Amino acid sequence: MKESDWKKFKVIREKALDEFCKRVLVGAEEIIADEATSAHERYLTLYKFIDENDKDLAAMFDNMRRSLALIHLRLMRTHKLVSDETLAELSADMQNRTKPLNF
């Protein structure tokens, strides 16, 4: 990874982390506000929701190293946390190497 891409990646990572956390908080608010279910059901749903999202957060944002940056950026793109506008700042090689995989 080029030094210029690495520097840009660090900024992109911070923005993506903030966006991911915002999404999780919105989801948590929706679960909490669901008065159609009991408090206990909401708690269990919230616990599961946070646990699942925590695993995604760890996969994308833990262990920030150059050797993992391509994988992390691909995951961020898969979760639609990085805009096309932001991606355009990176080299064409970096953009191509981090395209989300379609199964």
Q: Which tens digit of pLDDT belongs to each residue from 37-78?
A: 999 999 999 999 999 999 999 999 998 999 899 999 999 999
Helix, strand, coil percentages (3-state) for the chain, rounded to 5, are 75, 0, 25
Alpha-carbon distance 51 to 48, whole Å? 5
Contact at 8 Å (CB) between 37 and 45? Answer: yes
- Predicted TM-score (pTM) of the model is 0.86
Residue 102 banded pLDDT, cuts 50, 70, 90? low
The radius of gyration of the chain from alpha carbons, rounded to an integer in Å, stands at 16
CB atoms within 10 A of CB 29: 11
DSSP states of 78-91 = HTT-S-HHHHTTS-
Above pLDDT 90, what percent of the chain?
A: 78
Domain positions in the chain: 3-92
31 near 42, Cβ under 8 Å? yes
